[in-house]
Chain A
Amino acid sequence: MSKLRALTGDQAAAEAMRQIEPDVVAAYPITPQTEIVMNFAQFVADGRVQTEMIPVESEHSAMSACVGAAASGARTMTATSANGLALMWEIVYIAASTRLPIVMPVVNRALSGPINIHCDHSDTMGARDSGWLQIYCENNQEVYDNVIMAVRIAEHKDILLPVMVCQDGFITSHALEGIKIYDDKQVKDFISEYKLQHSLLDIEHPVTYGPLDLQNFYFEHKRQQAEGMKNALTAMPEVFSEFKQQFGTKYDFIDTYKLNDADIAIVALSSTAGTARVVVDQLRAKGKKVGLLRPRVFRPFPKEKIIQALKNLKAVAIMDRSDSFSGQGGPLFAEFRSALLDEPRRPLTVNYIYGLGGRDIDTEQIKSVYADLEKIAKERQVKELVNYLGVR
């Protein structure tokens, strides 16, 4: 039996963590992730979980402690945002390349500078090549569900990679929504027992973690890591379907809205998709064939699903809530264009960088993108490849 509760996105992540009851949580508070750590620390203080909570002195230490704990076989979690993620950078890569299934809710926030505490995706997009899986959540229910699923995904024997569960800072992290909370036992049954193959604490079978790895083997370990990420494309659907059996909601790599017969569409991550969906309905009411695609998973990049969903469209706008400063668009745009490039039939693509530093993205701005797309589809050309939406 599940029950409906009003929780913020941060509380939803903390509630999932309470039910998961990791062996170790090492975390440092940072806005707008603070309420995750705060709420979870309260669960520990109240004796509601047996988790060993390590209140570290920095995010670099948080991820370091997580690596040590995970290598010992402990189910391990942390959480962060923006500059916290930047400070743990070195160890973020080490966690992935050491193949430790750490789960980390990340509350997306603009990376300094200038200093800003509000939502954009520059923090996790910067970590897109770190070897972590990345799941992006539209709403609080997804935050809760994805944190639970992330444990199984990270620990899947064919994957064994850490997972970031990303949500939009303040927009979902601090907004109350009614969400379905499952029974503690149901969640425990779903995540089941975790047993690491090589534990640092197994003195009968001593192992070394993190040794020097030079020209002779480093490359082989990186090749394995690439395979783990590739395997996620086939292993994650197993977790999705088990989740559906247990809890009723069917997740996939992408979420589409009115895309089947659409001529033009917007691609957007996380909460922006909710706003875009409203616009799709408004424009559909006027008879316009518009749709929406929201990648739920960015790492691994679900190329085939995306091609199938978009190849018959005339024009697609890829919305990036971060800039890569490559001079040719944001990170999502680069991935989408690359994925579509080999298709003989593919839509024209255009990039919109929006919402940096928490700048509001509203229905009017999204309407203007659909209007641009109509023009692009009609004229069959993209005049401005990279656009900055909502900037003065």
Chain B
Amino acid sequence: MTKGSPKRSEEKGWKEIPIGGVIDKAGSAAEYNTGDWRTFKPIVDKDKCIHCLQCWMYCPDSSVLVKDKKMVGFDYEHCKGCGICASVCPVKCIKMEKE
């Protein structure tokens, strides 16, 4: 499990959660660590990256981190390891490594 996901035994019990699977809080999707799903992890070679931000545009999970118009890494809490970033990178500076 990705860091930040509570252990199953520590989650709330059935008497403590809203019924019917309703999520009674807006914008809570970020709390769901989809990084748990990943088999392959994207690794960026920062020396080769040209900061074209195509990976940022294509990432379906908003998991490419950008600061001051520069690609600075990945949000591994949410990156599912789909590999689209590696596929679209024009300079092939992202490789997918087995977790």
Summed over the interface, the residue pairs from A and B with CB atoms below 8 Å come to a total of 54
The answer to whether B23 touches A207, judged by C-beta atoms less than 8 angstroms apart, is yes
A245 lies within 8 A of chain B by Cβ: no
B30 lies within 8 A of chain A by Cβ: no
Contact of A220 among B17, B26, B28 (CB under 8 A): B17
Contact digits for A111-142, partner B, Cβ 8 Å, 1 yes 0 no: 00000000000000000000000000000000
Q: How many residues of A contact B (CB 8 A)?
A: 24
Contact digits for B9-25, partner A, Cβ 8 Å, 1 yes 0 no: 00111100111111111
Contact of A160 among B17, B19, B24 (CB under 8 A): B19
Q: Given the known A-B contacts A215-B8, A216-B8, are A223 and B23 also in contact in the complex, defined by CB atoms under 8 Å? A: no
Q: 17 A–B contact pairs at CB < 8 A?
A: A98-B21, A98-B22, A198-B18, A198-B24, A205-B24, A207-B24, A207-B25, A208-B28, A209-B20, A210-B21, A211-B21, A220-B13, A220-B14, A220-B17, A221-B20, A225-B19, A228-B19
A47 lies within 8 A of chain B by Cβ: no
Q: Which of B19-74 contact A (CB under 8 A)?
A: 19-26, 28
CA distance A208 to B28 in the complex (A): 10
CA distance A207 to B20 in the complex (A): 12
A249 lies within 8 A of chain B by Cβ: no
Chain A residues within an 8 Å CB radius of B14: 220-221, 223-224, 227
The answer to whether B13 touches A100, judged by C-beta atoms less than 8 angstroms apart, is no
Residue on B with the closest CB to A218?
B21
Residue on B with the closest CB to A200?
B22
A349 lies within 8 A of chain B by Cβ: no
Chain B residues within an 8 Å CB radius of A228: 19
Chain A interface mostly: loop
CA distance A205 to B17 in the complex (A): 17
CA distance A221 to B18 in the complex (A): 9
The answer to whether B11 touches A216, judged by C-beta atoms less than 8 angstroms apart, is yes
Chain A residues within an 8 Å CB radius of B11: 216-217
Chain A residues within an 8 Å CB radius of B12: 220
Residue on B with the closest CB to A219?
B14
A172 lies within 8 A of chain B by Cβ: no
The answer to whether B21 touches A206, judged by C-beta atoms less than 8 angstroms apart, is no
CA distance A213 to B32 in the complex (A): 11
Q: B35 → chain A, closest Cβ, in Å?
A: 14
The answer to whether B23 touches A211, judged by C-beta atoms less than 8 angstroms apart, is yes
Residue on B with the closest CB to A221?
B21
Q: Which 8 A-B pairs have the closest CB atoms?
A: A99-B20, A220-B14, A208-B23, A206-B26, A223-B14, A98-B20, A99-B19, A213-B21
